[in-house]
Structure 1
Amino acid sequence: MSGHGGFADLVGPGAILIGLKVASKDALFEELAAAAATVTGLPATTIVERVRERESLGATGFGQGAAIPHARLAGLDAVTAVVAHLAAGVDYGALDTEAVDVVVLLLSPESAGADHLKALAKVSRALRDPDTVAAMRAAGDAQALRAVIGGALVGQHG
């Protein structure tokens, strides 16, 4: 096991969006849900609904321009994440009122229990690290971004 384990294992092909242009938090959720629908085969409308439901319990933005909207879904086989770097930050209602431009949508099976919390902790850890978030913002394409969240940059310089 690598000491720092990123969360790239949760991110399927086509689940990394770079330079996403959205005007609002709602539009952001719709784009993320559309990508998640492609990956999971579940309807985007269901995904958006569940993410909004969860969001109404408390905003999932947690500072430094990063957010982890998340939800549990029936009919999902495994914990799945969609990662987006936005072309411009959106007002997310985050605690520090900073616009959000790095987002990881985390979806878990209804029955995931501990796996959901583990995945959430993994993603939170990565997004709490200013170097990781800066590297995510700097990534020019999906491959570069995948390397960042795979923990590939940890301890490397230059």
Structure 2
Amino acid sequence: MDICDVISVEDVVLDLKSEGKTRLLKDLAVLASRRIGIQAGEIVSVLSAREKLGSTGLGLGVAIPHAKMRGLTRPFGLFARLDAPCPFEAIDGQAVDLVVLLLMPEASPQEHLNVLARIARLLRDGEAVAGLRKAADAESLHRLLTEGKNRQAAVA
């Protein structure tokens, strides 16, 4: 499964406003809820439970909040570029401005880890991250996500 199978161009959000980590997770849950038909409150609940285990802020301005969801039949991802960096309790203490929400079906643990690993690998690529921060629109950003996936596949 590739990143483009999980994040569609409709699931790329630019200039999302955020007033902190809790509000950001709620806003992402509302956006995801509209696309997958699961109540936003349920999504916030699983994301919050995951964050209690340790922040999903990877550092360098990137976070990948993720969780397994009961009732989800296929993986779902949403990419958000924030209008301003948001405190996220990242491992390096830096605020985040690039966020990938990843929701996976409960019954697919290996698939969950594979998709999460691909996204994390892409977001550690400084050139790819710089491009994502500069992309003019959702289509361009989505194309960079896909190209990043191809570049990573060639390396792996």
TM over 0.5: yes
Which deviations, in whole Å up to 9, do the C-alpha atoms of 1:86-127 show, x marking residues without a partner? 000011111111110000000000111110000000100110
Which deviations, in whole Å up to 9, do the C-alpha atoms of 1:20-50 show, x marking residues without a partner? 0111011111111111111111111100110
Closer/same/farther in 2, CA of residues 141 and 153 from structure 1, 3 Å limit: farther
Unaligned runs of 5+ in 2: 152-156
User: Which residue pairs with 2:154 in the alignment?
Assistant: none
Q: State which of 11, 15, 21 in structure 1 corresponds to 2:11.
A: 15
Task: Give the Cα separation in 1 of the matches to 2:68 and 2:3.
Answer: 18
Q: Give aligned-pair identity as a percent.
A: 38
* 1:87 aligns to 2:67 (yes or no): no
Task: Give the Cα separation in 2 of the matches to 1:152 and 1:61.
Answer: 20
Please give the residue correspondences for 1:29-48 in structure 2 after superposition, counting only pairs within 5 Å.
29-48=25-44
Closer/same/farther in 2, CA of residues 88 and 114 from structure 1, 3 Å limit: same
Please give the residue correspondences for 1:113-132 in structure 2 after superposition, counting only pairs within 5 Å.
113-132=109-128
The letter for the 1-side match of 2:144 is V
Q: State which of 100, 103, 112 in structure 2 corresponds to 1:104.
A: 100
The letter for the 2-side match of 1:41 is G
Runs of 4+, deviation exceeding 3 Å? 152-155
Structure with greater helix percent: 2
* 1:24 aligns to 2:20 (yes or no): yes
* 1:66 aligns to 2:62 (yes or no): yes
Q: When the two structures are superposed, what TM-score results if normalisation uses the length of structure 2?
A: 0.91
Number of residue equivalences: 151
RMSD over aligned Cα, in angstroms? 1.7
Which deviations, in whole Å up to 9, do the C-alpha atoms of 1:47-82 show, x marking residues without a partner? 011001000000000111001000000100111101
